[in-house]
């Protein structure tokens, strides 16, 4: 639970910093994205997928595919905020659609994290929470940057940021509500949510790693942070 709550607080503070006092050097954001993407993809392949296929042997592949395609759909509207793209827009409608897509992404991500809050149904939920929070911090920063580029006032941008962070908690609350309503299938439903989230994260993490290079050539710094992310995941 501490990892979950602390991760949300750090995400909020990091986004707020970029709204009210943005640093000049922002290159470290992409390094953090690369490290988080590497950590995520490593825990997915080595920790989460084996457990998911053990619990849902007949349906895991379908749920993963749905999650993957859901992210493809959402990214068509969010314009890639999930992996570091901060494209401003002069259209309020386009901005709200992008924000809504990002919030849906955050809500689905939050659903399996209910396992951290209410007792471990997922064996590697702590590692999943760390991976999602490593991903959420740079996404919060990217959202803040995009909002300011779109001409939103700093106060409104901060409110948007709070709403984005809250969506993760809403997702966890929704999963807990589903678990209470269907108590006899609570654990099974948790793993269906996990499958959706992992499908989304597979798309995001592979995109981050692919786009972390210029002309498909990784810089030494990014190779280093990717190595660190992979190593931490394998040791967890």
Q: What is the pLDDT of residues 149-159, one digit of tens each?
A: 888 899 999 99
In three-state form (DSSP H/G/I as H, E/B as E, the rest C), the secondary structure along the chain is CHHHHHHHHHHHHHHHHHHHCCCCCCHHHHHHHHHHHHHHHHHHHHHHHHHHHHHCCCCHHHHHHHHHHHHHHHHHHHCCHHHCCCCCCCCHHHHHHHHHHHHHHHHHHHCCCHHHHHCCCCCCHHHHHHHHHHHHHHHHHHHHHHHHHCCCCHHHHHHHHHHHHHHHHHHHHHHHHHHHHCHHHHHHHHHHHHHHHHHHHHHHHHHHHHCCCECCECCHHHHHHHHHHHHHHHHC
pLDDT at 86 over 90: no
Task: State the pLDDT confidence band at 104, using cuts at 50, 70 and 90.
Answer: very high
Over residues 78-102, mean pLDDT: 81
Q: Could you give phi then psi for residue 38, rounded to 5 degrees?
A: -65, -45
CB proximity list for 86: less than 8 A, separation 6 or greater: 142, 143, 145, 146, 149
pLDDT given for residue 215 in this prediction: 53
Tens-place pLDDT, residues 112-171: 998 887 776 677 788 888 888 988 988 999 899 889 888 889 999 999 999 999 999 999
Q: Say which residue, 47 or 121, is predicted with more confidence.
A: 47
């Amino acid at each position: 639970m501490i990892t979950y709550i602390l991760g949300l607080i750090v995400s909020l503070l990091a986004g707020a910093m970029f709204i009210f006092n943005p640093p000049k050097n922002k290159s470290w954001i992409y390094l953090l994205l690369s490290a988080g993407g590497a950590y995520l993809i490593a825990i997915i392949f080595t920790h989460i997928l084996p457990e998911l296929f053990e619990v849902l042997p007949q349906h895991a592949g379908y749920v993963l595919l749905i999650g993957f395609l859901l992210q493809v759909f959402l990214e068509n509207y969010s314009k890639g905020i999930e992996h570091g793209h901060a494209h401003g827009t002069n259209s309020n409608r386009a901005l709200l659609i992008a924000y809504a897509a990002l919030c849906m992404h955050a809500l689905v991500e939050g659903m399996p994290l209910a396992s951290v809050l209410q007792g471990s149904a997922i064996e590697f939920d702590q590692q999943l929470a760390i991976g999602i929070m490593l991903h959420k911090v740079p996404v919060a920063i990217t959202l803040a940057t995009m909002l300011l580029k779109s001409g939103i006032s700093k106060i409104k941008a901060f409110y948007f940021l709070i709403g984005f962070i809250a969506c993760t908690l809403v997702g966890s609350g929704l999963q807990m509500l589903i678990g209470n309503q269907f108590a006899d299938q609570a654990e099974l439903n948790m793993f269906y949510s996990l499958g959706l989230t992992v499908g989304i994260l597979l798309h995001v993490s592979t995109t981050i790693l692919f786009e972390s290079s210029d002309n498909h050539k990784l810089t030494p710094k990014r190779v280093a942070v990717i190595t660190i992310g992979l190593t931490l995941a394998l040791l967890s």
